A and B are shown apart, each in its own frame.
Chain A
């Protein structure tokens, strides 16, 4: 694995966390009840901290060195490498929960591997912390999936609709390009095809307990890892980046 390949992996890890953190932060002050407002923004905070850690490390591998803020605020949509799933709009509360649930179960498996690999100690340290946090997030999101799926007819239909809409983005979590291949061969990233089987089993158990159905054969969409995003990302970034771009170098 070259330095550029390592840096790319770090950016992908960092962008997954950053973009989902920003989406969740959009709920601040808008969630259905105060407790859920607090929950979603707490999860956002964990993700933001993780994004900072990964992007700081990635930034050190640029010449000249970039800060985590440079990477967050001064890249355009086409330069982001997050999964398409994570940039999808919040929709209703069920849509947000469904997006979280599908990602949490993947993110946990990936972090478990990252925390035990020995290629890079600092990545292992970030991931060891993340594992504890993601377990808690997965507990939260899966509980809501069950409650909404096995709740009223209306909540069932709504969350089934969320699953139907978002399922097409799940394949991308396990899709492997040349960068991923190099990281997997070096032992940094887990073998994603093996991860998919474990993920599918665990996610499937929750979905069936929630009396929901996995949509059959939707057209899977990929492209986020290569910078080919859905139009939603640019709109989101516009809001996220406006302040540092309008007033470069400004501080609190």
Chain B
């Protein structure tokens, strides 16, 4: 699971890219979300610990290419984010407007109002931006689209 989004698995986050056998031992392939994401280390260690219960020789391989993208997060997972109070990425990452948040409607995950505003293009973790709902007045976080 993702330590910063504990209701999601690394599979749902799109970080778990592959599991294969190499010379008789298990290799887990992970792709970090952001270059400096401090959770990458923890996720890598947790995955290794879990895998070694099954295969004591298991290894973790970090794969940078192709670069992680929010396109790898499924509709189902996006719904799960909303249920947990986090506004999911909207649309696909190749749409430049979605990258910046300009001109896109980010609904409030709590009251569903579309009357919201970006407070900061950044948030409490590398993957999120900060928003405020102008109807229920609650602050919320939006998963950046990259």
Which A positions have Cβ atoms within 8 angstroms of B?
Answer: 21, 35-36, 38-39, 42-50, 52-53, 121-122, 124-126, 128-130, 132-133, 135-136, 139-140
Contact = CB atoms under 8 A, between A and B. Distances in A.
> Is chain B's binding surface mostly helix, strand, loop or mixed?
loop
A133 B65 CA distance: 15
Nearest to A50: B35
Interface in B69-124: 69, 93, 99-100, 119-124
B6 interface: no
A16 B99 CA distance: 25
Nearest to B101: A139
Contacts of A43: 122
B126 A136 contact: no
Nearest to A137: B121
A35 B64 contact: no
A225 B32 CA distance: 30
A132 B37 CA distance: 14
Contacts of A47: 35-36
B130 interface: yes
B144 A136 contact: yes
A88 B64 CA distance: 31
A21 B36 CA distance: 10
B124 A135 contact: no
> Is chain A's binding surface mostly helix, strand, loop or mixed?
helix
Contacts of B130: 35, 38
Contacts of A21: 36
A240 B64 CA distance: 28
Contact of A35 (B32, B67, B119, B126): B119
Given A121-B65, A126-B64, A128-B65, A45 B126 contact: yes
A121 B50 CA distance: 30
Given A38-B120, A124-B65, A136 B37 contact: no
A43 B34 CA distance: 11
A126 B63 CA distance: 10
Nearest to A34: B120
A21 B35 CA distance: 12
A38 B64 contact: no
B34 A49 contact: yes
A139 B100 contact: yes
Nearest to A43: B122
A50 B36 contact: yes
A47 B34 CA distance: 10
Nearest to B100: A139
Contacts of B64: 53, 122, 125-126, 128-129
**Which 6 A-B residue pairings sit nearest by Cβ, starting from the closest?**
A49-B36, A49-B35, A35-B120, A125-B65, A125-B64, A45-B36
